[in-house]
Amino acid sequence: MKNINKTDQKELLEKFYNGETSLDEEKLLETGDDQLHPEKDLFRFFESERKVAPPSFPLEKLEGRHSFLFAAKIAASLALLVLFSYVFFNYFSKDAEAVRWVEVKTETDQKIIRLSDGSIVTLNKNGSLKYQEGFADRLVYLEGEAFFDVKRDEASPFKVFTGKATTEVLGTSFYLRWLPGSAKVELEVSEGKVAFSSHDRNLNERVFVVAGERAVYDEQSNTIRRFELFDPNLIAWKTKQLQFEDAPLKKLLEDAEGYFGVEFAFEEAVISNCRFSGTFDDPTLEQLLDALKYVLNISYEMQNGKVILKGSGC
């Protein structure tokens, strides 16, 4: 770990200055024996900063704002209330068991959730999946984007609630997206068959969507539309693969924006008439851009995190 040879070190430094080293690689540079300037001084500076600590936190501040007496009174009345409600519930409803919910949330990372029935949910960033503890009813609430791989159980359908739409399956795999506040729920089926419906009673319609198809529920028009169009890039965040088949450049850039979390800037003329075919496995942004550069004769530069594209169309 400690000694790295000169060529490795040179490569590492280059990556370091391109902002591409991992934390482990930076540790390697930090602990390397060689006298590196100015990197060693930078690391030593950070190390000294890391030692800076605040005076210890006044833990007494972690109390409620009320005096002890007040708190005691509250506690006493709460205890009474709990006692009464306990007696009440035991007396009147023997089976009133509280439903406990489990909620899994994601922020900057994806999470793979293994449910107790054997189904697997891959939840994309900024999402939430909620289900009852024990998961006996095979029912989940989704906010955000997820890919479902549902274990087959003919006796008990698996249901996903998203906004006003319900997706019901016996066992298949599919992708769903609903962003809270959005009027649209998007479904794409990879395998098997899915029943897609609205909670709205007016729409007494269940649409069956099969593998290779997409459907979109629109809350405003209260309709479900089905397409025989499968877009593999909807789940690129899970498959780590971007696929294009004679795709207009505009569509390619939209998919890439979502996948890499970058913004593209270009004039309409740059992209007019350009189409692209190709598949990228776990690509970096640069790999994709280089491919465009060679195939479509487009040049690019990075500016404040934006990718500026230049070219003269195809």
Partner 1 sequence: MTREEFKSAIVPLQQPFYRLARWLMNNDEDAEDISQEIILRLWKMRDRVSAYNNIKAFGLKMTRNLCLDHLKKKSRNSVELQASHDNGHSTDENRIEASDHLNLVKQLIRQLPESQQLVLQLRGVEELEIDEIAEVADMTPNNVRVVLSRARKKLKEQYEKYQ
Three-state DSSP state, 115:
coil
Backbone angles phi, psi at 160, to 5 degrees: -120, 125
Q: Does 54 bind partner 1 (CB under 8 A)?
A: yes
Task: Please pick, from the candidates 120, 195, 216, 285, the single residue that binds partner 1 as defined by CB under 8 A.
Answer: 285
Strand order in the sheet with 306-310: 263-265, 306-310, 299-303
Q: Is 104 exposed, middle or buried (0-12, 13-18, 19+ CB in 10 A)?
A: middle
- For residue 232, give the nearest of 211, 217, 204, 209 by alpha carbon: 211
Q: Which residue has the tokens 């509280």?
A: 98
To partner 1, the closest distance from the beta carbon of 36 in angstroms equals 11
Find out whether the peptide bond into 38 is cis, omega within 30 degrees of 0: yes
Q: Does 230 bind partner 1 (CB under 8 A)?
A: no
Q: Does 103 bind partner 1 (CB under 8 A)?
A: yes
Q: Does 8 bind partner 1 (CB under 8 A)?
A: no
Q: Does 109 bind partner 1 (CB under 8 A)?
A: yes
Q: Does 134 bind partner 1 (CB under 8 A)?
A: no
Q: Does 38 bind partner 1 (CB under 8 A)?
A: yes
Q: Does 55 bind partner 1 (CB under 8 A)?
A: yes
Nearer to partner 1, 150 or 289 (CB): 289
Q: Does 262 bind partner 1 (CB under 8 A)?
A: yes
Angstrom distance (rounded) from CA 237 to CA 231: 13
Q: Does 261 bind partner 1 (CB under 8 A)?
A: yes
Binding residues vs partner 1 (CB under 8 A)? 16-20, 23, 26, 37-39, 41-46, 48-50, 52-55, 57-59, 61-62, 103, 105-109, 111, 260-263, 285, 302, 304-305
